[in-house]
Structure 1
Amino acid sequence: MSAFQLLFLVAAGLLAAGPVRAQPQDAPEPTVPEAGAEAGSAYAVGGIKVDVSAKTPQAARFAAYRIAQRKAWPLLFARLTGKPASSAPPLSDAQLDKVVAGIESQGERFSMTRYMATLGVVFDRLRIADYVGGLAGSLQSAPMLLLPVWTDAGATTIHHQKTPWADAWARFRLNVTPIDYVLAPGKPVDNILLTGWQVRRPVRSTWRTIMARYGARDVLMAEARLVRSWPGGPLRVDFVARHGPDGTALGRFALTTTREDELATMLDQAVMRIDSLYVAALQQGRLSAEPSLALDLAPIEEPALFSEAPATAGQTVDDAVVVGTEVLVATPSAAAFDALSVRLRSLPGVTAVTATSLSLGGSSRLLLSHFGNRQNLAEGLVAKGFSVTDNGELLVLRSAATVDETQG
């Protein structure tokens, strides 16, 4: 999915805007693309038509979401691998719940027993990589946090000030490459976390925190060290492509120029050469991420809530089998939403939390997939510290514990 990570939607228009789980970023300005941009994402599959009948409108809507997920997965597989959709490995509903980040309504109609809509399904690119990565070969890497390390006159800089090396990577971002580069936005917290000292520090606990913040699975360090023969004289830049928390060197080279005004052109050439080193390493299987860097991203196998028979338009779904409850809860920031999602997923019996209407700074609708009935879910929420009000359509949640995390 893309050269640089941009995740996820801000649904200012609620259902029409297409909600998705927000990436961990600095509050109060999370990095989230607008709905129009996300529509072109490699990980969003739209235009899926569903027509479902059930005993209640909520059950029909939830069943339609499940059907849309089933239809979207083969289409996504074909897009990412270049293989026929029919060759997509089968995924259970429980597995799909783990890799779907949100459902976008692109037009819907419903009655008391029927739900008809055109839906878009947005997949979590980090989690779906577990199912597509090995099959896609060198098509695309997992999201890789890129650190453009620039050293000039003995001073090492990554993000705390602008460098010609970071500029070169910014120019490269629109190039087509199988490496999914994630570049930090350069905010104050980036200056604290991503330092020249950190790239030499192999402590996994710190790297896990960094991976979670930037939505990455691994780290790449592109080092450039400028050497001046004398003021105004020839320039030489030594480059090293490194990978992983240990900074394993994948290749190194040097480029020289006699003119200061040719430095930018030389750095552009270097970026392309370093990218080729990473691509070669990906093809050779040397860019495998350590599982411990993203422990919470592995899919969890659970019994499917629906039968695996192919869904058809107008399908009637047994309400006893459809287990889904929508909740309304305040989401003041992206960090609050992330913390809330983790908290809800920890509830016994809850298999997935899907944003159906995300409003950062307001109240969002979340669809909880779960075993048991609505009352059991409400009791579990109360046990987790939530105040629960059932208005008949959905559960309105209020939390005594503050989930808004505005600090890096």
Structure 2
Amino acid sequence: MIRFALRLSCGVFALLAAFEPAAAQSPVYTVAKVAVNTKASDAVTAKEQAIREGSQRAFRKLLSRLVAFKAHDRLPELSASAIDGMLDGFVVREERFSSTRYIATLDFTFEAGKIRDLLNRIGLPHTDQQSPPVKLLPVAQGESVGETWRAAWGALDLKHGLAPLDMPPAQAASLPAGMSMTARAVQVLQGRLGAPRLVLAFAAVDASGGRLRVALRGEDAVGRFAFAQDFRVYDGDIAEAAGRAARIARMALEARWRLTSLKTQGALDGPAPLESFALTAAFDSLPAWQDMRSKISSISGVQDVEVKSLFAGGAELVLSFPGGAERFAKAAAARGLTLDRSGGEWILRQR
């Protein structure tokens, strides 16, 4: 975890403690709806094994969510105890058990600081910046397919990813009469729902019953979006095909935002040596300083932050970042901060 080493008088320490806000953790560090199903010699052992296996799967899913796709082959393999050390807790959504089996759906939340520290140490480009939410409307040809298609999306964790999706009630998700999957349909529904960012997700089973045809169209947080793919229906199991299709389409939406966020931060500019530099953080209140400090900590690649002094209206810092101040300026801009050169010094401000 990035620690802000601070050299101040005891009185200033007390003042800072009085104004210390509760840290707000990004929802992207929660991996929800993890299904577990384990069998053991007794119910207690089965539950312990399920939680351990579930946390490991959630950890891998979290790293895949945050890290640039081109770096997925370098994702670390950690022991169960190491993963437990990064786990903030878990919530049981639902559970069933017998004398030897445990079946449940769990949500796992990891400590943001420890995850960032791990990824920074390894040097993996990553982002935890969530996009603005996007309305998702699953629509289908045929009532039974429509229910199955909507259920497939509902089974996914739409809230905690990098690109959160909001699925309105079913009655709001129907296409206007006589209207097909066109740009005009998207515009009509955008107006009806008051949602400038809206994606229609259409599904239909072909005449042979062997393929599920899927098409997404609309506008997400990046811009206009289109996706089309056919999915094989095995043994007539449309629900399985719909689940597979929804997962892949969800990954496509998330990958777009992750790539955009990483580019904005300069995290894909290539490797660069770690450079230390000094800057002055300008702020007008202690809450503003705490907010700025939190944003600095959340920037991928930041290491060894030291506060040299704190004074009315600002703080003098030294930190390390790959590529130095110029690259840090680009990453800071994505967090709502500006770093400018003035009088030979770097000045960091809230935008």
* Shorter-normalised TM range: 0.3 to 0.5
TM-score, normalised by the number of residues in structure 2: 0.35
TM-score, normalised by the number of residues in structure 1: 0.31
More helix by share: 2
Taking CA–CA contacts closer than 8 Å with sequence separation of 6 or more, which of the two structures ends up with the larger relative contact order? 1
